[in-house]
A and B are shown apart, each in its own frame.
Chain A
Amino acid sequence: MNEKHYDVVVIGGGPAGLAAALSASEQGAARVLVIERDRELGGILQQCIHNGFGLHRFDTELTGPGYAERYIKMVKATPSIDVLLDTMVVDLMPDKTVLAINSVEGLQKITCPAIVLAMGCRERTRGAIRIPGTRPAGVLTAGAAQRMVNMEGYIPGKKVVILGSGDIGLIMARRMTLEGAKVLAVFEIMPHSSGLTRNVVQCLEDFNIPLHLSHTVTAIHGRERITGLTYAAVDENLRPLPGTEKYLACDCLLLSVGLIPENELSREIGLNMDALTGGPVVNQERETSLPGFFAAGNVVHVHDLVDFVSEEGDIAGRFAAHLAQGQTNVGAQEFSVTPGHGVRTVVPQKIKIDVKDPGTAKLYLRVAEPQRKITLSVSSGGMTLLEKRFPVAKPGEMIVLELDASQLEKVVGDVIVEIKR
């Protein structure tokens, strides 16, 4: 079997992985490898042909492939980064041995001192949300439809209903409309959209596509292809309200009902996982519970903007490179970061603080439900470290809080992030 050694191996060549590879290389890692299972780099960005990417990162509005291309060019211009395309990691071991296969070299074994996990996420399926009814053609996840429409050039239906108001569903509502299909409705079981506000406005409202909040699909009809569905209003426990069922004829149902970090490899090596994010527990350097394993992007937690994914890739790549070069702050003490009242998830879930050089740490969080005029508070051992006011907070949009050295110095125990009552 072919054997190779690298300083940093990045699994996944999407936005997190590309940023991690570049950052690792900039920080002095002499040999960096990116392993990508698809035929090109860029990950899911390649099928996101709409604009709105890069406002934070590049101060301009790019399409998904445009954003990806900027990173791909930088990676290609960096001699210390090797890329393996069309290559699948089949096994990962706690000693940081990676087994991968592709058509050219067959099975190969790669060893390294530091790995960055950047496998992204996958879509929740019909089975996971248990929609009763038949199982006809024409029911697919919004992302699978997006690939077919944008990359292969075929549409999955002409009279379309979308279940779930996640960003991909909203984007696909507009895309299907632009492709000439009629998007009849978007149903969202929650009382609020789970997507970005700008997507609700630009993809639904601008095209007069109705968004039915607190509604869900309760049955799928049709034998060969979907012919229609039953939908109903739901109560506060998200259960369909008897008597509110209505039939809607359609020939396609797209599902945008959530994204799940793709962590099969992380589980195989036994990383500690966060049940709320679905990703591994990481510290502010994006190191996981297993030394030498770092993680970045949607594999850690589902992001709203690719700009933050790239930023997380930067962080993971930087500290993976430091570790590969033998730099660690051994005197550091680690504390937990946990979501409190009104906060659903926080990343990182751990902060390690070296009193001699506390540095800074950014906390990325999502609130549990939409609220106006809130104050977010970060505290440790009963002492408030930071308070910040927000005019609006929505679950679909990530909030970033930054702790500076003077605030981190004051951490004496576990850190709690919550909405002040």
Chain B
Amino acid sequence: MPMRKKADVVIIGGGIVGTAVARELARFKLDITLVEQHPDLSMGTTKANSAILHAGFDAAVGTLKAKLNVRGNELYRAWQEELGLDIKLIGSLVVATDEEGLLVLEQLHERGRQNGVPGLVLLSREAVLEREPHLTPATLGALFAPTGGIMDPFGVTLAFAENAVRNGVEVLTECKVEQVEVSDDEVVGVHTSQGFIEARYIINAAGVHADDISRSANDHSFAIHPRKGEYMLLDKSVGNFVRSVIFPTPSKVSKGIVIAPTVHHNTFVGPNALAIDDKEDLSTTAEGLAAIVAGAKSLVPGVPLNAAITQFAGLRAVADGDDFVIRPATGVRGLIHAAGIQSPGLTAAPAIAEMVVDILRSEGLSLHAKIDFCPENPARALFRDQEAPEKQKLIAENPLYGRVICRCEMVTEGDILDAIHRPCGARTLDGVKRRTRAGMGRCQGGFCGPRVTSILSRELKIPIPAVRKDTAGSFLFFDKIRGTHEVKDHE
């Protein structure tokens, strides 16, 4: 029986933008439903990107990108503590290796000043190489941004979503929007795979699919042109090969091949930039990987690429005109786009959310602050991050914290159960992985994969063949072909 329900606002898309909007709207007395087509949040563009907190000197002066990047960077720093966000302000460097590059640095420096980026400074060759000794000897200088940094996009998305849920927002996963229903040029609701949701305001944060959502409401005012980027992730054993986020001087289509640490102590290189037609194409290619290897080597010749543990690709949701599309829909009242969110969208997301709230207000939605809004999430304590006495205490309270399931990343069964049973909990193998890092280490789940699969089966009360990797149909195992048998659980 499909549901029929009602909300004041429906947010389409559970990525960084949709969840940031949900959390901002949760400050007000509203019924809010966020719908996500996949079994977990953060499954689109938010899942695979450079995970960089951009300082804000790249985007052209006066663009939404420029304005929202700088504001978003500020907001992340302001919210870091209350939401327990995994952000590290390690600083970023744009490195010039020729005279032309030095001119670009000066332009970026000036642009950054106009965009309002704090603390930018041009570094001499010696100062750069002292900071980053592995950089190419061809280095001539760099632009240093102290507010540049790195973050965990999935963790941040989850923190936004969890806080939204704790403040009354409803999150529906595996709920795919089929069509936005419009009557007399006004939004009246959305048809989803789980039924109709009546709503007068809809936020379109559907990433690479935002233009499809828009068209379903008869608004053909923009199109999304996915641009693929491929990445390579290196093992933690590489250590502090680089300490900052390192960019080459930028090209017209992208900021170039970056090398940077991740908040989880790995190192990554990438991305390239390739315009594609297929919105689901997350394949990596030998040519693409060769291009990022070449790009990385031109900046840091000794980058230990033999420590690669995985490759992946992500899609940038590029709109016509190249700037963000954050505005009411054309010709339809009640539909607000937060679309075309490519880089620096991750950094801009909190500011995008603020802007969406302002648009809703001017579109006639009454916003009354909730006095009992709680901006904090309870601390999410992973076992491995605790000091010895806290570890003892955790095991004493719950012995499952003493059972290590993922040995590469030291993830215990207690951590995994918490990841499954928290608000917006894990429903898939990759969901557990992204919440706890189980399976993200050097053995890439070779050891813990079968064990986590069994735990998911037990906790979600589903058979093993119903456990999935990440997407709705990504089943991992089958019953044996020669007939199945009941196995009694003796535990």
Minimum Cβ distance to chain B for residue A219 (Å) = 7
B366 interface residue (CB < 8 Å to A)? no
**Who on chain A is nearest to B306 by CB?**
A128
Question: For residue A224, which residues in chain B have a CB less than 8 angstroms away from its CB?
Answer: 469, 471-475
Any A CB within 8 A of the CB of B301: no
**A107 to B233 Cα, complex, angstroms:** 32
- Selected from A127, A133, A147, A157, the residue in CB contact (under 8 A) with B444 is A127
Q: Are B284 and A133 in contact (CB under 8 A)?
A: yes
Count of chain B residues near A, Cβ 8 A: 59
Q: Which residues of A contact B365 (CB under 8 A)?
A: none
Q: Contacting B400 at CB < 8 Å: which of A103, A127, A151? A: A103
Cβ of A126 < 8 Å from any Cβ of B?
Answer: yes
Given contacts A107-B392, A144-B445, contact A134 B487 (CB under 8 A): no
B482 contacts A by Cβ under 8 Å: yes
- Interface flags for B309-325 (1: CB within 8 Å of A; 0: not) read 11110000000000000
What DSSP secondary structure best describes chain B's contact surface?
A: mixed
Is A330 close to B, CB under 8 A?
A: no
With A127-B310, A152-B450 in contact, do A134 and B481 touch (Cβ < 8 Å)?
Answer: no
- Please state if B402 and A137 are interface contacts (CB–CB under 8 Å): no
Is there contact, CB below 8 Å, between B450 and A144?
yes
CB of A355, distance to nearest CB on chain B (Å): 41
Q: Is the CB of A179 within 8 A of B403?
A: no
B449 within 8 A of A: yes
Contact A127 B308 (CB under 8 A): yes
Query: What chain B residues lie within 8 Å of A1 (beta carbons)?
Result: 388, 392
Q: Tell whether, in the assembled complex, residue B289 and residue A132 are in contact, meaning their CB atoms are under 8 Å apart.
A: yes
Q: Is the CB–CB distance between A136 and B469 below 8 Å?
A: yes
Q: Within the complex, what minimum Cβ distance (angstroms) separates A209 from chain B?
A: 17
Q: Which of B258-311 contact A (CB under 8 A)?
A: 280, 282-286, 288-289, 308-311
CB distance from A228 to the nearest CB of B (A): 12
A103 to B397, alpha carbons, bound, how many Å? Answer: 10
Taking a contact as CB atoms closer than 8 A, the residue among A123, A141, A149, A219 that contacts B283 in the complex is A219
Residues of A within 8 Å of B453, CB to CB, are 148
- Cβ of B468 under 8 Å from chain A: yes
**When the two chains form the complex, which single residue of B285, B443, B464, B473 contacts A122, counting CB atoms closer than 8 Å?**
B443
Residues of A within 8 A of B464 (CB): 152, 154
Contacts A123-B443, A140-B449: A156 and B477 contacting too (C-beta < 8 A)? yes
Is A289's beta carbon under 8 Å from chain B? Answer: no
B402 touches A101 (CB 8 A): yes
A83–B413 Cα gap in the complex (Å)? 21
Chain A residues near B (Cβ < 8 Å): 1, 37, 86, 88, 90, 101-107, 122-123, 125-128, 130, 132-138, 140-141, 143-144, 147-149, 151-158, 179-181, 218-221, 223-225, 240, 264, 267
20 contacts between A and B (CB under 8 A): A103-B400, A105-B402, A106-B396, A122-B446, A123-B443, A125-B309, A130-B308, A132-B283, A136-B469, A143-B446, A154-B464, A154-B479, A180-B480, A180-B482, A181-B481, A223-B282, A223-B471, A224-B472, A224-B474, A225-B475
8 interchain residue pairs of minimum CB distance? A180-B481, A127-B310, A103-B402, A103-B399, A137-B469, A224-B473, A154-B477, A88-B404
